Structure 1
Amino acid sequence: MKFARGRLAAVLFTVSVSCFAATSSAHVTDEVVKHGNVQIEVLSQGKGPTLVILPSLGRSAHDYDQVAQYLVADGFRVLRPEPRGVGKSRGPMENLSVHDFAADVAMVIDQKHVGPVVVIGHAWGNFAARQLAADRPDLVKGVVVAAGSAGKVPPGITEKPISAEMREAIDGAGDLGLPEAQRLQYLKKAFFAPGNDPGVWLGGWYPATLEAEGHARNTTPVDDYFAAGTAPILDLQGENDAVAPRRFSQVLKTMLGDRVTVIVLPNAGHAMAPEQPKAMADAISTFAKRVSQ
């Protein structure tokens, strides 16, 4: 009986330690990295190979709380730098280029001594992710373009990668001066697959960041970041993405060839992370493990 009780105690202790380890590895620390007149807030959690997640236009890294938890559980360290204007991230906001936003991420990776990393750029964040890979190839071993516009269209097509009508919906979704009902319509149109709740993104918008990132996108030549240097790319697409639509779904693959792997997530739109966090994390994990070998 004593032996049985001893074994039970040992088992309970082991379970307790395992649970504690899992909980502690998922714990999120909040740090600020500084260089000159720029400071970047970084959410950090987990242990293992490092993944860096960059958020969508005018939004926060907190959009990926669930995605990050899944990735940590799968054995990764996840860093989520907040763009300038979000949280504690500060710096000049006028006349920025995509290079500037990529440099902020490079500063984080350099000061945390974690490179090379797999960088995940969601929607607008994919421009900064690809720019980072182009500007600092020493820091990047793989790029995930998640629900991202390629920035170009297939040869022979004259329309823009993102139409004026869709651009209105994207910007309107984050315009806090508009009525909530109108913003919900914009969110539904641009960001969410049919049947998914657009209301979860009514909050979490940062107008100054949206404006600065929009300016950077409009003034930085696409060819500066298009190829993402020479890094392997996962083009992670939403089946119902209205911003990066199916008719443009093979642009990166066609132009960059075997460096690009395409995966399509069912029942996901441009928002992707709140719609399919587990599927998004699983695809990222599989790609990250492959390029980390």
Structure 2
Amino acid sequence: MKKYLTVILSTSLSLMGCSSLDRVESNMNQANLISNFSVHKKQIQQGDISIEFYVQGKGPVIVLLPSLSRGARDFDVVADYLAKSGFKVIRPEPRGINGSTGTLANLTLHNFAADVALVLDAEKTGPVVVVGHAWGSQPARMLAADRPDLVRGIVMAAASAGKLPKDSTEKPYGRLRDAIDNAGNYKLPQEQRITYLKQAFFAPMNDPHVWLNGWYEKNHAAEAHARIVTPIDEYFSGGKTVPILDLQGEYDAVVVKNVMKEYLPERVVEQVIKNAGHAMVPEQPEAMANAIAKFSKQVYSAN
């Protein structure tokens, strides 16, 4: 683990808040992980766009895309489990976070998907399994639509579909919108932010304090704009053929569940992660990683 920390923590965690290092180390110790793989930080540039990404492990590739306004470091523990399970894990930082740079004005989900494609092309991965946590499922599905040569399977982890059950009158992406958009607002009192984190992200038995840090305001605005301006039918189905795992949190208060299965019954399988809410990644990293690994092994063995 010391080798892991030396490779990347000293250069990236300073942007996440002074308590982030302690939080990551605590999560690692709690998970009792002893990784055999170093984490390598890389950079790829095309024009005025530069994307930072992390690579660890060996084997079939799994790509991890984070939630709205959050970075790739959220997946530290999940990525370690996956690497230990025999996968090469790639984690691009979304544009606007840490070393990933480029304009944040007037972006669509096509732009965010293209940033991921830039990384995968550089790594010469071929088609891979792409995991999108919450908002991350949107560029994951967009990538499958825009670059089907790069995607062989999708995991939607605690992710809203973007459509609703056919008899629903709700607004897509509308549940607990205020809590979602303000949980990472550093201008608000901490007590209010904790209330929002409890409402929108964390199961009742889990501690929301671990997500007080690690939010990126400018990135939030760009990602939210991309979701709003990109027509849902351009990415909803994640292309036309790839299998999709709809990985649901038992206590997720944000996601309208079972929508993907209703619209794409032949392509979608569902699984529930116990004692997890919309945050999922910090709540149940081992269970999440196990579900991703099982699905990925099935996908790779079938192709």
Partner residue in 2 for 1:124: 135
TM-score normalised by L of structure 2:
0.87
Q: CA deviation at 1:24?
A: 7.3
Q: How does 1:84-103 map to 2 (within 5 A)?
A: 84-103=95-114
Partner residue in 2 for 1:139: 150
The one-character-per-residue Cα deviations of 1:20-76 (angstroms, maximum 9, x if unpaired) are xx9774210101111111010001100000000000000011111000000000000
SS in 1 for 2:281: coil
**Greater alpha carbon shift after TM alignment, 138-147 vs 172-181:** 172-181
1:211 to 197, 207, 221: 221
SS in 2 for 1:44: strand
Partner residue in 1 for 2:19: none
Would the aligned equivalents of 1:98 and 1:217 in 2 still touch at CA under 8 Å? yes
Q: How does 1:56-205 map to 2 (within 5 A)?
A: 56-163=67-174, 166-205=176-215
SS in 2 for 1:292: helix
Match status 1:35 vs 2:43: no
Partner residue in 2 for 1:289: 297
Q: CA deviation at 1:161?
A: 2.8
Opposite residue 148 of structure 2, the aligned amino acid is P
Partner residue in 2 for 1:249: 257
Partner residue in 1 for 2:13: none
Would the aligned equivalents of 1:25 and 1:45 in 2 still touch at CA under 8 Å? no
The separation in 2 between residues aligned to 1:25 and 1:106, in whole angstroms, is: 27
SS in 2 for 1:124: helix
The separation in 2 between residues aligned to 1:126 and 1:162, in whole angstroms, is: 13
SS in 2 for 1:231: coil
Q: Percent identity?
A: 57
SS in 2 for 1:254: helix
Would the aligned equivalents of 1:25 and 1:47 in 2 still touch at CA under 8 Å? no
**Greater alpha carbon shift after TM alignment, 172-181 vs 96-105:** 172-181
Partner residue in 1 for 2:10: none
Would the aligned equivalents of 2:35 and 2:80 in 1 still touch at CA under 8 Å? no
TM-score normalised by L of structure 1:
0.90
The separation in 2 between residues aligned to 1:213 and 1:129, in whole angstroms, is: 13
Q: Could you say if the C-alpha distance between residues 180 and 23 of structure 1 is closer, same or farther in structure 2, counting changes exceeding 3 Å?
A: closer
Would the aligned equivalents of 2:43 and 2:51 in 1 still touch at CA under 8 Å? yes
Q: How does 1:263-278 map to 2 (within 5 A)?
A: 263-278=271-286
The one-character-per-residue Cα deviations of 1:153-201 (angstroms, maximum 9, x if unpaired) are 101211113336x110001101111111111100110000002000000
The separation in 1 between residues aligned to 2:36 and 2:123, in whole angstroms, is: 17
The separation in 2 between residues aligned to 1:110 and 1:268, in whole angstroms, is: 34
Opposite residue 281 of structure 2, the aligned amino acid is A
**Greater alpha carbon shift after TM alignment, 72-81 vs 174-183:** 174-183
Q: CA deviation at 1:258?
A: 1.7
Partner residue in 2 for 1:223: 233
Gaps of 5+ in 1: 1-21
The separation in 1 between residues aligned to 2:35 and 2:252, in whole angstroms, is: 36
Runs of 4+ in 1 over 6 A off after TM superposition: none
Would the aligned equivalents of 2:66 and 2:72 in 1 still touch at CA under 8 Å? yes
Q: CA deviation at 1:289?
A: 0.4
Q: CA deviation at 1:250?
A: 1.4
Would the aligned equivalents of 1:169 and 1:190 in 2 still touch at CA under 8 Å? yes
Opposite residue 201 of structure 2, the aligned amino acid is F
The one-character-per-residue Cα deviations of 1:59-113 (angstroms, maximum 9, x if unpaired) are 0111110000000000000000000111100001000001100000001000110
Partner residue in 1 for 2:18: none
Larger radius of gyration: 1
Match status 1:239 vs 2:247: no
